[in-house]
Amino acid sequence: MKLATAAQMREIDKLAIEQYHLPGVVLMENAGAAVAREVERLLGGIKDKKICVFAGLGNNGGDGFVAARYFANGGAKVKVFLIGEKARITGDAQIHADVLSRMGVDVMEITGDRDWDKVRIAVTFSDCLIDALVGTGFHGEMSEPLALIVDIINRSGKRVVAVDVPSGVNADNGQVQGSAVKAHLTVTFGLPKPGLLLYPGASQAGEVILDGIGLPLPLLATAPVQQMTITAGYVKQLLPKRRADSHKGLNGHVGVIAGSHGYTGAAVLCASGALRAGSGLVSLAVANSLRSIMEAKMTEVMTRTLPELASGAIGLKSIPFVEELSNYWDVIALGPGMGRQNETQAAIREIVRNAEKPLVIDADGIVALAGHMDVIHQADAMAILTPHPGEMAQLTGLSAMQVNQDRIGIARRTANQWGSIIVLKGAPTIVAFPDGEVFVNTSGNASMATGGTGDVLTGVIAALIAQGLSSHDAAVAGVYLHGLAGDIAAQAGAVGLIAGDLLQALPAAIAGLQS
């Protein structure tokens, strides 16, 4: 499903009005009616319920006026508090405010101390509060009196429904500067907004309900929007279909270059992830001294030894051996646990520079590229980089906090700059492509925030490429499949999940999508 920024959604609304002659006042009517329906569902009926609507002067407030009318018509006891002067309401919102006034529903301006007393009393005795303050157009930090209203709403202990986006949340990136409404339910319109999926905005939104508000489907389908969510239905179409007469040679061969002393687990998890995601063959190339460890840990993975440094990591002498081995591989998974010795990092860059097969690069493989991103352009195939925010910070010179503040924007810019597919891990994981296309993952959970899960992801994506998927489709499907395995594993308990649990859940995740 597409995700629309605030500006993109405004453009869609504009086209609906201009090209389809669908009046804005009708779209506002549909939006307010959708909010009223969801509130009625939430409360189990609205007759005799006490509902407070907090409305701003713009279109978000107009949606609130419509909802208030439906509440009143349904027998609820409605109070509407306006943040500003009635005389400043214009356009479609004014039409709906006038209807409320003609019905005898009082729209009370908040201007003085006594008004705030009325607000607090009304909130105390309310069953539900409606946030129709500022909506998608808001950027920056809440100022007074909005900040005070938000504080009263959040401290109320009442059920809160936000209109389109919780006030104070940036609709485009989910950021909150200062305060924002904490909703139990958000009713959003037309297309979902990125800020409802990105944190901290996602934690403010509660349950998100999408209502099309009557926007023409051809308009939504053709809207030039490059953000998408990754859904089960989308991934189901991508997953490779296994033939009834299949054999291991038809299901691809993943080559994994990973591991060093103290980090053998990363190599094991990556290689095992490739097997569990369906690769017919997996070879693990490691420093010679690690071979016996790997063979004790894994039965089904073939080990290949490489010349090593005294530290137990590979060095530049490994390059000819890697080039020979890669002739037999369909894809190379590179980096987990390889170490950060200078020569090892130099060897990683040479492997990338000389690679003639698709690459999935993670962990120490990514660190080796910091300050050397020109190397990535020399590989024959487009590489997939899978950084977490800390690794992305090393590549870009930003802080991890700055990365998380603009996850979509940074993933998109770096994918374009480096000509690579970026899998920016986190909550949620973002997949970005050089042409500007971005996918936001919808699977996965906080239980997966444990060491080794990223190594599994690298193996999963590599396995899908080995089975014939393009790097584009493998990145998208692999991210969702990995998260789904985490969701399945977490059913046994949210605390204590380990990366190995994802390995066990991967076959069930694949089967569930293919059924």
Annotated binding site for AMP: 425-429, 454
The label of the residue with tokens 């529903």 reads 105
How would you class 62 by CB atoms within 10 Å of its CB: exposed for 0-12, middle for 13-18, buried for 19 or more? buried
Binding site for K(+): residue ranges?
60, 131, 167
Which neighbouring-strand residues pair with 431? 423, 439
- Which residue reads 């051809």 in tokens? 218
Cα angle value 457/460/462 (rounded, 5°): 110
Residue 151's CB is within 10 A of a number of other CB atoms, namely 13
Which residue numbers belong to the known binding site for (6S)-NADPHX?
59-63, 135-141, 164, 266, 337, 388, 455
Q: Are 438 and 411 in contact (CB under 8 A)?
A: yes
CA 50 to chain centroid, in Å, comes to 36
Q: Would you list which residues are annotated within the binding site?
A: 59-63, 131, 135-141, 164, 167, 266, 337, 388, 425-429, 454-455
Q: DSSP code of 298?
A: -
- Dihedral sign from CA coordinates of 452, 454, 455, 459: positive
Token pair listed for 137: 């157009």
How buried is residue 350: exposed, middle or buried, by Cβ count under 10 Å (0-12/13-18/19+)? Answer: middle
Torsion of CA 180, 185, 190, 195, to 10 degrees: 40
Scanning the structure block, which residue is given the tokens 């440094």? 309
Residue of 137, 201, 131 lying closest to 161 (CA atoms): 131
